[in-house]
Amino acid sequence: MGEFNLSSTEPTFDIDEHEAGQRRLLRRNRSLATGLLLFAASLFVALRFVPDPGFWILLLRAASEAAIVGALADWFAVTALFRRPLGLPIPHTAIIPSNKDRIGDGLGGFVERNFLEPSLVVAKLRSVDPAARLVRWLNAPGMAEALAARLAASLPSLIHSIEDRELRVFFGRALGEQLRGTEVAPLIGKVLGVLVASGQHQPLLERAVGWAIDLVERNQGRLETMVGQRSGWWIPKAIDRRVARQLSQGAHDYLSELLDPASPLRIRMELAVEDLARDLQEDADTRAQVEDAKSRLLDRPEIQAWLGGLWDEVRRITLDDLERPDGRTREAVTTALRSLGAALEADPAMRARLNASVERLALDLITPWRRGIGRFIAEVVHGWDAGTVSDRIEMAVGSDLQYVRISGTIVAALVGSVLFLVTRLIE
């Protein structure tokens, strides 16, 4: 049985894997910031040896010199949070290790005041409706599985007793007429809207994008051939291959960005999917276009033949699936029975009383232990050594702080350039 979670149905992630990912990100960003510092230093040293430097060399020298100062200053500021820079006993450095106990007290008090506040707990419980979730959870085991197993055992005999030829003709004709008479656009829009609202469209989208990325990678050679065939005879083959690689890499980068839920491109696609779901249900032109496409599709001979033979495939798949104890048909029946039981047995008045009881129980448990939980958190932090506290906080936020170093280096270079230009203008 899985973990009972009132607030989410998402599976929990592995903590060690998450920490390893944070460490990798920290190392990457730290290397990037340090590399930028080394680049500025190398550029400055190299430009110092340029004989008789002109305006642009002097400008680059001023920018690189300022970048070094900014990068070192931000490196010192970020490093001083977690340790003594270069191990030197400089005052007011290693701030987090030096204030470990105070951080623990503050964290415990923060949780006590902002997470265990009775009004917040009650509001959260009301938002998740624990009674409805509990009813659905309790309906899952037992009766639903047993009834689904009995139905799955009876279905093969029923299917074998039906004449295939007559059913095939009936099935194809009935399905075709049903599809022609049914406006599918609102249904598609409603299903798409439900998927979007529940977030279940994201795995489908990611799988489709992954398939597209794999397609691009597997057809690199074909793309190079196509580019070569369409380019001029005077263009070298090396240029054609480079263009093909750039096209492939561009497509790969574009598709990879779609896999990032936080990327602007992914967000725009999410909004476009939401708009499509709404237009399919409400926009007359969109619905008409879908119906026209559906009619043209159903008029195609291959689609009509496919509908006529669909019963054979459905029959074969169903019989094969029913023979498996873990078949999808049995699983689908079980899921349907669970949903049906929850819908029939859920009494609104009883759900309200149950929710009120859960709220009272939660408050009875949290109120006397609220201060103790905050104190427990503080004591746990007190028990950590200073290095552990510093390491965990740096692992959580250090990768973002490296962007401060990167930004500081770039801003300092810009400021140095501006000061150089102002000085030249004044002179």
Tell me the pLDDT tens digit for each residue of 14-23: 557 777 888 8
The two structure tokens encoding residue 359: 């709220």
In the chain, DSSP finds a helix count (H) and a strand count (E) of 19, 0
Average pLDDT over residues 279-294: 85
| Rg of the Cα atoms in the chain | 32
CA 259/CA 252 separation, integer angstroms: 11
Give the model's confidence band at 3: pLDDT under 50 very low, under 70 low, under 90 confident, else very high. Answer: very low
Whether pLDDT at 106 is above 60 = yes
CA 285/CA 319 separation, integer angstroms: 42
Winning range, highest mean pLDDT, from 156-170, 174-188, 301-315, 336-350: 174-188
Query: Which whole-number Å values give the CA distances from 311 to 141, 163, 411, in the listed order?
Result: 33, 11, 68
Contact indicator for 221, 204 with CB cutoff of 8 Å: no
Which pLDDT score is estimated for 341?
61
* 380 or 220, which is more confident: 380
The identity of residue 88, as a single letter, is: L
Contact indicator for 389, 100 with CB cutoff of 8 Å: yes
The whole-angstrom distance between residue 310's C-alpha and the CA centroid of its chain comes to 37
Helix axes 201-218, 184-198, angle to 10 degrees: 90
The two structure tokens encoding residue 95: 């701030």
Q: What angle do CA 176, 180, 186 make, to 5 degrees?
A: 125
Q: What is the pLDDT of residues 391-423, one digit of tens each?
A: 888 888 888 889 999 999 999 999 999 999 998
pTM for the full model? 0.40
What percent of the chain is modeled with pLDDT above 90?
A: 13
The whole-angstrom distance between residue 360's C-alpha and the CA centroid of its chain comes to 36
Which pLDDT score is estimated for 200?
73
Distant-in-sequence, close-in-space partners of 421: CB < 8 Å, separation ≥ 6:
59
Which pLDDT score is estimated for 33?
92
Domain ranges of the chain: 15-98+384-426, 162-308
Contact indicator for 363, 118 with CB cutoff of 8 Å: yes
Which pLDDT score is estimated for 69?
94
Q: What is the pLDDT of residues 342-351, one digit of tens each?
A: 765 767 777 7
* Closest to 179 in 3D by CA, of 285, 276, 282, 296: 296
Q: What is the pLDDT of residues 38-48, one digit of tens each?
A: 999 999 999 98
The whole-angstrom distance between residue 192's C-alpha and the CA centroid of its chain comes to 18
Query: Which whole-number Å values give the CA distances from 58 to 65, 66, 293, 336, 420, in the listed order?
Result: 10, 12, 65, 75, 8
* 138 or 220, which is more confident: 220
Contact indicator for 90, 383 with CB cutoff of 8 Å: no
Q: What is the DSSP letter of 161?
A: T
User: What's the mean pLDDT when you consider all of the chain?
Assistant: 79
Least confident of 79-83, 270-274, 336-340, 360-364: 336-340
